[in-house]
Chain A
Amino acid sequence: SAVISQKPSRDICQRGTSLTIQCQVDSQVTMMFWYRQQPGQSLTLIATANQGSEATYESGFVIDKFPISRPNLTFSTLTVSNMSPEDSSIYLCSVVLAAGELFFGEGSRLTVL
């Protein structure tokens, strides 16, 4: 298993500002994933973050809007840039272990006014 800590757990932000979410894992992992869960919806993969390379973004998500850093094998950040109310969501960090299952952080609940 893995223990994943996300910060902040929740925040209320003003339109046009940016927020950086941190994800810390208690063990070294190759692949980290960032998901978005809009209110009442399922999870949508934003990007895959591998250490030492650029993040791979899914269709509909771009680096300018969601820049990601992955400085080492235990840490990653996701920035939500130039926020609008449509960005109000839970953002979840996750890692995959050898058996193929994902472990998730508790999520960062973002409200944009």
Chain B
Amino acid sequence: SQQGEEDPQALSIQEGENATMNCSYKTSINNLQWYRQNSGRGLVHLILIRSNEREKHSGRLRVTLDTSKKSSSLLITASRAADTASYFCATDEGSGGSNYKLTFGKGTLLTVNP
């Protein structure tokens, strides 16, 4: 079953602008992760935020997590054409160890126009 739901489904911006993508989920989680996928290729891990964290930064990326609203946002600042990709949130809702399981949302297709 789908856990994370991103919105918007698609986002088109100009180079230099900021891009914000949102993710909502339904059940309790251990952590939430964001991944990037360039056109039909493998996914690349961007950032992981644990359930007891509220905000995390990595370079031009900023992720927030609101467990009371069961939502997260990914902000990409000063976007570049190379940021064009699909972005997925994924939630880890397992009990750990051999019960590790990551469930992916439907993704946001980001297009950054030069």
Query: In this assembly, does A101 line the interface, its C-beta being within 8 Å of a C-beta of chain B?
Result: yes
Query: In this assembly, does B98 line the interface, its C-beta being within 8 Å of a C-beta of chain A?
Result: yes
Q: In A65-113, which residues have CB < 8 Å from any B CB?
A: 90, 92, 94, 96, 99-107, 109
Contacts of B111 in A (CB 8 A): none
Q: Is the interface of B mostly helix, strand, loop or mixed?
A: strand
A44 and B98 CA atoms in complex are apart in Å by 18
A92 and B16 CA atoms in complex are apart in Å by 32
Q: How large is the interface on B (under 10, 10 to 19, 20 to 34, 35 or more residues)?
A: 20 to 34
Q: How many residues on A have C-beta within 8 angstroms of the other chain's C-beta atoms? A: 25
Kindly provide the distance from the CB of B114 to the nearest chain A CB, expressed in whole angstroms: 25
Query: In this assembly, does A31 line the interface, its C-beta being within 8 Å of a C-beta of chain B?
Result: yes
Contacts of A48 in B (CB 8 A): 100-101
Residues of B that sit less than 8 Å from A by CB: 2, 30-31, 33, 35, 40-45, 48, 88, 90, 92, 98, 100-107
